[in-house]
Amino acid sequence: MRAARPPAQSAEDWDWQLRARCRGLPAETFFTTAREKGRRRDEHEETAKAICRRCPVLRRCLDYALAADETYGIWGATTPGERRALRPPDSAAQRAAG
């Protein structure tokens, strides 16, 4: 599996992150571990999504995650699986996975 590579952007394009509700929170809030399964994993993801849903830059975050093909964590109130479902069927990421 390849590491996510953010799309080329200027410094101004990253300003949205300064307004994000997740700024300053522990990264672990938005990433689950392999040990978390079932209800515990669902609760962890829902906690992160609740933070995202109140975020003023939610859409910008989701757009970034889709463009960068983020394969881990909660971005824009979505899980990796939810982001895969949002991508067009002909996207490179889905062709690679298929």
Rounded distance between C-alpha atoms, residue 62 and residue 77, angstroms: 8
SS3 state at 75: strand
Binding residues for [4Fe-4S] cluster: 22, 52, 55, 61
Q: Do 80 and 70 form a contact (C-beta atoms < 8 A)?
A: yes
Annotated binding site: 22, 52, 55, 61
| Whole-angstrom Cα Rg for the chain | 14
